[in-house]
């Protein structure tokens, strides 16, 4: 599985640099700088061109729920699981109008972390040809309920996604894992660059500097994960205290 998502390096001068990354379960596979006169949509194919996508499930947020992207992925032999929101109003209306109350729950997961308890309830159903989205086979409804561990306030969010995989090609648990793993790019990459490496506070702000430094941060994350680090912050502290441990990482 490959997740595609963007992040802005907000410390850059004049115009914040926006970077689109491709991420698997823990490793950064590639990164592309988004042209200041464009947006992530135009950077999608150039980023994916560098990757072997044959048989790979590609996940992306609603911005990339584009027919052109789907056509590109199918030409590359990839599958898709894409979030559907207001930028595709007709498709979103069709998905929300499906009889979800009659669809049984297919998967439930509960996770605790970052000071909150989160439950994800997944339902999925086959979609008919009239949906009108290329190669669409399954519609997925994900209801996320979050509650703070220190208070009583909670939040519920329902998200709809669409996939080209059929019931004979995947399972509810696999699609639930893929949807959850997509959000991992936020917690396992973007959050680490912001919090552990303080990317938005970096004083390197001009020219290609922010993009180069983001690439180096990605490299550090990849090296530590390859070395089986479970916590990037702890791994960075360990290496900084013993510089002789750097070379084994690079080897």
Q: Would you give per-residue pLDDT tens digits along the chain (251 residues)?
A: 999 999 887 654 556 688 999 999 889 999 998 876 568 899 999 999 999 999 999 999 999 999 999 999 999 999 999 999 999 999 999 999 999 999 999 988 888 776 778 888 999 999 876 677 899 999 999 998 888 877 767 889 999 999 999 999 998 888 888 988 888 898 899 999 999 998 888 878 777 888 899 999 999 999 999 999 989 999 999 888 887 888 788 76
Helix or strand (DSSP H, E) at 110: strand 107-113
Domain tally, the chain: 1
Give the CA distances from residue 28 to residues 87, 103, 155, in Å, rounded to whole numbers and listed in that order.
27, 36, 30
CA angle, 65 then 66 then 67, to 5°: 130
Instruction: Give the pLDDT of residue 129.
Output: 66
CA distance from start to end of the chain: 26
Domain of residue 137: give its range: 2-250
CATH classification at residue 132: 3.90.350
> What does pTM read for this prediction?
0.87
With contact defined as beta carbons under 8 Å apart, do 64 and 41 qualify? yes
With contact defined as beta carbons under 8 Å apart, do 95 and 77 qualify? no
CA atoms of 229 and 232, how far apart (whole Å): 6
CA atoms of 60 and 15, how far apart (whole Å): 24
CA atoms of 98 and 136, how far apart (whole Å): 14
Instruction: Give the pLDDT of residue 35.
Output: 73
Instruction: Give the pLDDT of residue 114.
Output: 65
CA atoms of 64 and 227, how far apart (whole Å): 33
């Amino acid at each position: 599985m490959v997740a595609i998502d963007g992040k802005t390096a907000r410390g850059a001068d004049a115009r914040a640099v926006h970077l689109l990354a491709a991420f698997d379960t823990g490793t950064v596979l590639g990164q592309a700088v988004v042209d200041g006169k464009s947006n992530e949509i135009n950077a999608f194919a150039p980023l994916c061109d560098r990757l072997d996508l044959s048989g790979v499930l590609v996940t992306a947020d609603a911005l990339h729920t584009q027919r052109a992207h789907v056509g590109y992925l199918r030409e590359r032999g990839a599958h898709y699981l894409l979030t559907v929101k207001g930028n595709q109003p007709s498709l979103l209306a069709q998905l929300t109008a499906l009889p979800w109350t009659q669809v049984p729950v297919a998967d439930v997961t509960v996770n605790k972390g970052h000071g909150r308890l989160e439950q994800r309830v997944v339902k999925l159903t086959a979609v008919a040809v009239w949906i009108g989205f290329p190669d669409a086979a399954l519609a997925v409804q994900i209801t996320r309920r979050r509650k703070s561990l220190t208070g009583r306030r909670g939040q519920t969010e329902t998200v709809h996604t669409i996939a080209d995989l059929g019931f004979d090609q995947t399972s509810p648990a696999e699609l639930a894992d893929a949807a959850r793993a997509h959000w991992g790019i936020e917690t396992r990459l973007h959050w680490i660059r912001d919090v552990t490496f303080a990317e938005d506070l970096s004083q390197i702000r001009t020219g290609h500097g922010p993009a180069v430094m983001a690439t180096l941060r990605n490299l550090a994350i990849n090296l530590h994960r390859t070395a089986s680090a479970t916590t990037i912050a702890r791994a960075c502290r360990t290496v900084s205290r013993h510089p002789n441990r750097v070379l084994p990482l690079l080897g």
